[in-house]
Structure 1
């Protein structure tokens, strides 16, 4: 263990519970006067190359339906997913593991949704937008390194936003006695800053959008033009 072998490997090798191994190592550090440093694979702290497509997608999920708890003895990133979208839940968990493989990742069943959680205090390094209060009550701006990733992988970022606070629906109308159906996409978020991140990225990939107000509140970004919907279908598609 002093050579850096993990608690899990030692526990499996000796057939002893991992908690016992951890306690032995803790006592050994005290005996040797060592300070405990929790291992991390945080790209911002270690210089490890981040999986950019996975990060762009996870950033979109975080800005929509995610939050970070960061306080003493409780550090984790949570993304809340509708329980009916099992593929989305798998994608959220896979993105967390690809961005930071070392932390523990789990799922918590809630009423009507599933909370996907990854446990490490280093999520605040990757999401500096974290702060007290609701996201729509504070300024949300990407740092230069985040914007560079979004610029390189705009569709992954948009997919994360749509998978969190967006949807694909089918509208219909009747003309001359004939029913016509047409699909459209919506992205709905109370934060002006997050909506602008969405619309700026849509414009960069050639998607036309409009704002539909809910009463007097411009919370809805609408994508209804046929060519733009086809572009969204090619890169994002319905939730699954």
Structure 2
């Protein structure tokens, strides 16, 4: 069956992919998705978006698509990252369009590949990512959201929820974010809960959590 528009949902056992026409403009795609969701919201209600194929979106475009989907349907957006089978390196848009501290960008670039799971947009309460590799989030991790990764966790935003790096026992794993204020942080078998009197909302430098002398320690990334 031929394509009926610049975007379509493709079902897999694990969820839906958005298959995008590489020749279509972003404006055409967003308008078509808006109409598609209005016409078939009930059909797709309860589904999960787990990826994107056919065309690369930048961070702002991904945020707009996620907002549109969640506002107009019962579809949960787990990720709008490109399919691992089609993406072998970090998208150029991630390198040049996200203005964050260089230490975070370097970690993102270093970890890019098939063993890295990218999440574009804020992880809200109830969202969960479990991955046998590294996890990179371009956005915040809100309270009630969780990330469990066998490798490192890098968040280009704030960590306010639950994170567990090195979940398979890797004590060399690290957690990096622009603000580390999780409800609980774990690295390998070690657990730490930040003090309740920590009211910081912004830091000049990103923060890194790591294992040292049997404890989880947090330091600034200068």
Q: What is the TM-score normalised by the length of structure 1?
A: 0.29
Q: What is the TM-score normalised by the length of structure 2?
A: 0.31
Rg larger for: 1
